[in-house]
Amino acid sequence: MAEAHSPSDITRRAMGDIPDTVSEVLVLSGAVKWFDVAKGYGFLVPDNGMGDVFVHASHLRHSGFGIVGEGDRMKVRAFAKQNGKLVCAQVLSVNQ
């Protein structure tokens, strides 16, 4: 089950790219489906069965992590865009 919370101003500043229209941020754990270093992005499959989460390489770098590969475990803060697609806002952990 995803842990949801309302993003505070501090959280918004820390994650940088959460739109003001987002009212809920989810904490999700799962496995990397694939990550293409050349493209600079990939997808996480959450353990709770929600849709794939888009993860950009900049979120890994800003959180102090390097490259991830298929099957690596991640915990992220994510939000749903207006179209319902999940997007990573911050990487919390990798392979822990």
Sign of the alpha-carbon dihedral angle for 83, 78, 63, 38? negative
Report the pLDDT value the prediction gives residue 12, as an integer from 0 to 100.
43
Report the pLDDT value the prediction gives residue 17, as an integer from 0 to 100.
61
At 72, list the tokens.
């690596």
- pLDDT tens for the chain, 96 residues: list them: 455 555 444 444 444 566 666 668 889 999 999 999 999 999 999 999 999 999 999 999 988 998 899 999 999 999 988 888 999 988 999 997
The strand pair at 53-56 and 86-94 is best described as: parallel
What CATH homologous superfamily does 3-94 map to? Nucleic acid-binding proteins (2.40.50.140)
Q: Model pTM?
A: 0.78
Within 1-96, strands assigned E span: 3-5, 25-36, 41-46, 53-56, 73-80, 86-94
Q: Using an 8 Å Cβ cutoff, are 8 and 18 in contact?
A: no
Q: Using an 8 Å Cβ cutoff, are 13 and 57 in contact?
A: no
Report the pLDDT value the prediction gives residue 21, as an integer from 0 to 100.
63
| Every domain of the chain and the residues it spans | 3-94
